[in-house]
Structure 1
Amino acid sequence: MNIKIIGVGKLKEKYLKQGIAEYAKRLGTFCKFEIIEVPDEKAPETLSDAQMLMVKQKEGERILSKIKDKEYVYALAIEGKERSSEEFASELDNLGTYGKSDITFVIGGSLGLSKEVMQRADTKISFGRFTLPHQLMRLVLTEQVYRGFMINAGRPYHK
């Protein structure tokens, strides 16, 4: 199985990089795992709706250029479906069983994802109604993917 996370912006925080590196190493047992960073657009605090749309579209084009046709895409979005860790694990397992072994997760920038990226997504996933920094979300998502593989392997990590 191939798992890819596409994130907008460069991860700078050392503690987040270390956490992701640890889970990425652990994931090596189960899958090929990679994180792709696409550049974010500079977005001052006060943007018009048109400017916000433009930022999301530019970031969205960069994201879409990293997605192949055969990939099953999860868009991380507050309006997505919430899942328990066990439900998520089962979903990953089922995707692999039915030939969807290239799975891509997309984390937008500070303004979210473009309409085009949302339309390309096969499903939307939410980690709750909290707003989390998109950099932190990479670590949370990587841990949940690892947790899913551990649940599917029947290993005790997730308790």
Structure 2
Amino acid sequence: MKIEIVSIAKKEKSIYDPLYKDLTKMISRFAKVTDNEIFPKDVAKSHTISPEASQRAYTKALNPYIGKDFIVSMHPDGKLIDSFEFSKLLDGKMSIKFFIGGAYGFENDFLKQSDAVISLSKLTMSHKIAKAVLLEQIYRGFSILSNHPYHK
């Protein structure tokens, strides 16, 4: 299985990098994970204009990453699911792309292209924390599917 995480984020070193690396290694038993952080100039400029302009810029930046994969967008107003429901998102898929939006979230036109729109929590979190939570849930989901005791 192939998993790709695409997020609106500046590529920079982070204190979370070792955690991402560890979780990605754990997941590698089940799937290959790639991580794309994108932050084109249009996105930076749009942040000085308005939230709506920012959302449009996110859609423009992310649309090239939409393909025939199963698309899951992380959105605060998305469906709150538990780890067992999350594992069902992974089950039987060949390729999944997870999208993490920028500071202003996604516009509805982008969300309509998604196969699933989920929320990781009712709490607001930075994209760096969201990515850590997402990676952990991906590993937990595969553990559930393979009856590995990690999820208990």
Normalised by the length of structure 2, the TM-score is 0.89
Deviations 1:34-91 (A, max 9, x none): 11111152224xx5xxx221111112111111121x1111111111111111121133
Instruction: Tell me the SS of whatever aligns to 2:15.
Output: helix
Q: Which amino acid counterpart does residue 31 of structure 2 have in structure 1?
A: C
Q: Secondary structure at the match of 1:86?
A: helix
| Deviation of the 1:13 alpha carbon | 5.0
Q: Deviations over 1:89-137 (max 9, x none)?
A: 13321xx1xxx41111110000111222111111111122111111210
State the AA in 1 paired with 2:81: R
Q: Are the equivalent residues in 1 in contact too, given 2:5–2:34 (CA < 8 A)?
A: yes
Q: Which residue of 2 aligns with 1:59?
A: 58
Question: For residues 38 and 79 of structure 1, what CA distance do their matches in structure 2 show?
Answer: 23
Question: In the alignment, which residue of structure 2 is the partner of 1:3?
Answer: 3
- Alignment match of 2:87 (pick from 89, 99, 105): 89
Q: Which of 63, 74, 77 is matched with 1:76 structurally?
A: 74
Specify the alignment match of 1:123 in structure 2: 116
Give the Cα separation in 2 of the matches to 1:90 and 1:56.
29
Identical aligned pairs, as a percentage?
Answer: 29
CA distance in structure 2 between the partners assigned to 1:91 and 1:78 by the alignment: 18
Task: Show the counterpart of 2:28.
Answer: 28
Could you say which residue in structure 1 is the equivalent of 2:17?
17
Structure 2 vs 1, CA of residues 11 and 141 (structure 1 numbering), >3 Å: closer, same or farther?
farther
- SS of the aligned residue for 1:7 comes to strand
**Matching residue's letter, 1:63:** L
Tell me the SS of whatever aligns to 1:128: coil
List, as ranges, runs of 4+ consecutive aligned residues in structure 1 with deviation greater than 3 Å. Answer: none
Task: Report what 2:38 is aligned to.
Answer: 38
Matched AA of 2:79:
K
SS, match of residue 14 in structure 1: coil
Equivalenced residues, count: 148
| TM-aligned CA deviation for residue 28 of structure 1 | 1.1
The 3-state SS of whatever aligns with 2:109 is helix
How much is the aligned-residue C-alpha RMSD, in angstroms? 1.5
Query: Is the Cα–Cα contact under 8 Å of residues 11 and 38 in structure 2 kept in the other structure?
Result: no
Query: Which stretch has the larger CA shift, 1-10 or 33-42?
Result: 33-42
Looking at structure 2, the residues matched to 91 and 7 of structure 1 have their Cα atoms a distance apart, in angstroms, of 19
